[in-house]
């Protein structure tokens, strides 16, 4: 209960006081690509994917087990109580023969995403790359291929930025890594061993071997082991090896400090107001992050597109997750969603990439983004529901033109008491995807 209250308070803090987040000493040029990108793809993949959310007759969520109530299939080891040796033995049959890094990154690219983040090591401690630090890695499986190396090559080939999720705090394989809150807490001096033996050396290894564009660390609203000193030590390590690598706020969720590059929201959390620092929402397509064969809770494409545009309108990014199957394939419903979001962005991406927020609260069913252009500015009005017209507090004399973004169909702009009114044709809402109106203006708002 305490945890829930704490997390509620924290969410309220972030959601309602957008401008009072910790100030970050950012180099705007360094994170400019991240701000402009707006859309990234996340992948959770590892040994847990092989269990598909079930173990020993139990399927997540399972309330008959004390901690079985979550959908998160990447937590299966802890939540469905898989004995450590049995979990470790999964490595002996990890062999995703259909894995094709190029095909994955082509999907990412076609989805219109500009960056790719994969779990290099999740809480289970298993490394998807050839690690010199730990032999609990992909090279000690029948597959014996460095998955990260192949993905990095594909990202470079397709011009997609890439980063790694690295569980720097929880590690259920190392005898001194952090454990879930319901397990006995490790003495801090034991954790220190894990920190020096595995966590820091593997982060360094990832930086040196793969030169990532970002690192995605993971803590949440629990305070243990990740002191400000350890947080700063890890940041210093990243900075000393890579001047370009961005660091997310979940390196220490409750206290990210001054020296991170972007804020990371809680899972599927969407702030209600504009945040002035770069930020992103890690989001699921279903309920689980890792592949869960019984999780059929697929979100709709308009809903996900709305999250993407709505985050952009508040200065943030959308990092949409896929949980690939144990054979190395993306699930079919995920592929369809990626392709349809990609098709939508093909037509409307201008309203998303490189846009900035607008300091006007839109009416219900409307999202604003904007951009400066050589000939003035563009205000993008994304409609999430059918409407007869939209009203805007914009001076009539500021408008230089108006059209539906996808088709170029011109729209009439009328002067109204509050500014302007744009009547909308019925045919605009013949399909269920979000429609975007592009208003050409002399200046940004
Ligand atoms: C949480 C979960 C984890 C997941 C992550 C994604 O921290 O522990 O399983 O990787 O959120 O945002």
Map residue 84 onto helix, strand or coil: helix
CA of 2 to the centre of ligand 1 (A): 20
Residue 165 CA: nearest ligand 1 atom is 10
Strand ordering across the sheet containing 419-423: 389-392, 419-423, 414-416
CA of 429 to the centre of ligand 1 (A): 37
Q: Virtual CA dihedral for 146, 147, 151, 153, nearest 10 degrees?
A: 10
Question: For residue 18, what pLDDT is reported?
Answer: 34
CB 291 within 8 A of CB 328: no
CA of 301 to the centre of ligand 1 (A): 22
Q: To test the ligand 1 pocket, which listed residue (165, 168, 180, 289) has its Cβ within 8 A of the most ligand atoms?
A: 289
CA of 57 to the centre of ligand 1 (A): 24
CA of 218 to the centre of ligand 1 (A): 7
Separation in Å, CA 439 to CA 315, 377, 383, 402: 20, 8, 13, 4
Query: What is d(CA 160, CA 115) in angstroms, rounded to the nearest whole number?
Result: 5
CB 124 within 8 A of CB 75: no
CA-closest candidate to residue 170, choices 182, 159, 161, 160: 182
CA of 115 to the centre of ligand 1 (A): 18
Q: Tokens in use for 60?
A: 């997540």
Q: Pick the residue whose CA is nearest to atom 12 on ligand 1.
A: 267
CA of 96 to the centre of ligand 1 (A): 23
DSSP H stretches of helix in 283-385: 301-313, 332-348
Distance of CA 43 to the CA centre of its chain: 9
Residue 264 CA: nearest ligand 1 atom is 12
Give average pLDDT by consecutive 10-residue segment, the chain, 445 residues: 40 38 63 98 99 98 97 98 98 98 98 99 99 98 98 98 98 98 95 98 98 98 94 98 98 96 98 94 98 98 98 98 98 98 98 97 95 98 97 96 98 97 96 95 96
Residue 75 CA: nearest ligand 1 atom is 9
Question: For residue 26, what pLDDT is reported?
Answer: 59
Distance of CA 221 to the CA centre of its chain: 18
Q: Is 262 in the pocket of ligand 1 (CB under 6 A)?
A: no
Beta bridge partners of 161: 115
CB 118 within 8 A of CB 105: no
Residue with token string 């409750």: 254
Q: Per residue in 243-299, pLDDT tens?
A: 999 999 999 999 999 999 999 999 999 999 999 899 999 999 999 999 999 999 999
Neighbours of 311 (CB within 10 A): 25
Residue 167 CA: nearest ligand 1 atom is 10
Q: Is 48 in the pocket of ligand 1 (CB under 6 A)?
A: no
Whole-structure pTM value: 0.94
Q: What is the bridge-based pairing of β-strands 316-322 and 366-373? A: unpaired
Question: For residue 13, what pLDDT is reported?
Answer: 40
Domains of the chain: 2-351 (3.20.20.80), 366-441 (2.60.40.1180)
Residues 6 or more apart whose Cβ sits within 8 Å of residue 375 = 400, 440
| H or E stretch covering 414 | strand 414-416
Neighbours of 221 (CB within 10 A): 15
Q: Is 172 in the pocket of ligand 1 (CB under 6 A)?
A: no
Q: Is 269 in the pocket of ligand 1 (CB under 6 A)?
A: no
Question: For residue 276, what pLDDT is reported?
Answer: 85
CB 191 within 8 A of CB 201: no
Q: Is 74 in the pocket of ligand 1 (CB under 6 A)?
A: yes
Residue with token string 């896929």: 322
CB hemisphere CA count around 218 (13 angstroms): 19
DSSP 8-state symbol, 195? I
CA of 236 to the centre of ligand 1 (A): 24
Q: To test the ligand 1 pocket, which listed residue (77, 164, 267) has its Cβ within 8 A of the most ligand atoms?
A: 267
| H or E stretch covering 36 | helix 32-37
CA of 183 to the centre of ligand 1 (A): 18
Phi and psi, residue 325, nearest 5°: -80, 165
Residue 72 CA: nearest ligand 1 atom is 9
Q: Is 289 in the pocket of ligand 1 (CB under 6 A)?
A: yes
Cα-only R_g, the chain:
23
Q: Is 98 in the pocket of ligand 1 (CB under 6 A)?
A: no
Instruction: Classify residue 84 as exposed, middle or buried by CB count within 10 Å of its CB (0-12, 13-18, 19+).
Output: exposed
Residue 250 CA: nearest ligand 1 atom is 7
Question: For residue 176, what pLDDT is reported?
Answer: 98
Q: Pick the residue whose CA is nearest to atom 1 on ligand 1.
A: 267
């Amino acid at each position: 209960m305490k945890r829930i209250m704490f997390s509620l308070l924290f969410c309220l803090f972030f959601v309602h006081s957008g401008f009072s987040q910790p100030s970050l000493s950012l180099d705007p040029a360094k994170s400019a690509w991240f701000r402009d990108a707006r859309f990234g793809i996340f992948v959770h993949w590892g040994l847990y994917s092989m269990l598909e959310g079930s173990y020993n007759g139990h399927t997540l969520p399972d309330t008959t087990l004390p901690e079985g109530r979550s959908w998160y299939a990447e937590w299966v080891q802890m939540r469905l109580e898989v004995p450590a040796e049995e979990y470790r033995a999964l490595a002996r049959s990890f062999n995703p023969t259909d894995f094709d890094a190029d095909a994955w990154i082509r999907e990412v690219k076609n989805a219109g995403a500009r960056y790719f983040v994969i779990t290099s090591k999740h809480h289970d401690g298993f490394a998807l790359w050839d690690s010199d630090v730990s032999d609990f890695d992909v090279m000690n499986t029948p597959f014996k291929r460095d998955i990260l190396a192949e993905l990095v090559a594909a990202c470079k080939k397709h011009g997609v930025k890439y980063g790694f999720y690295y569980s720097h705090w929880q590690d259920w394989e190392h005898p001194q890594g952090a454990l879930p809150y319901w397990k006995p807490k490790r003495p801090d001096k034991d954790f220190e061993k894990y920190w020096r033996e595995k966590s820091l050396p593997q982060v360094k290894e990832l930086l040196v071997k793969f030169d990532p564009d970002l690192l995605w660390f993971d803590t949440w609203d629990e305070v243990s082991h990740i002191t400000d000193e350890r947080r700063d030590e890890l940041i210093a390590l990243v900075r000393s090896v890579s001047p370009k690598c961005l660091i997310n706020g979940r390196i220490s969720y409750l206290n990210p400090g001054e020296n991170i590059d972007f804020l990371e929201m809680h899972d599927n959390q969407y702030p209600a107001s504009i945040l002035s620092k770069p930020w992103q929402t890690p989001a699921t397509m279903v309920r689980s992050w890792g592949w869960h064969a019984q999780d059929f809770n697929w979100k709709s494409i308009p809903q996900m597109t709305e999250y993407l545009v709505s985050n952009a309108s508040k200065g943030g990014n959308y990092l949409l997750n896929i949980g690939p199957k144990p054979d190395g394939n993306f699930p079919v419903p995920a592929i369809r969603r990626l392709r349809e979001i990609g098709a939508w962005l093909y037509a409307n991406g201008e309203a998303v990439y490189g846009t900035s927020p607008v300091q006007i609260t839109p009416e219900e069913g409307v999202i604003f983004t904007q951009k400066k252009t050589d000939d003035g500015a563009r205000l993008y009005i994304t409609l999430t529901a059918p409407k007869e017209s939209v009203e805007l507090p914009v001076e009539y004399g500021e408008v230089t033109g108006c059209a539906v973004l996808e088709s170029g169909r011109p729209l009439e702009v009328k002067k109204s008491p509050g500014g302007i009114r744009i009547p909308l044709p019925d045919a605009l809402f013949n399909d269920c995807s979000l429609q975007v109106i592009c208003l050409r203006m002399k200046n940004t708002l």
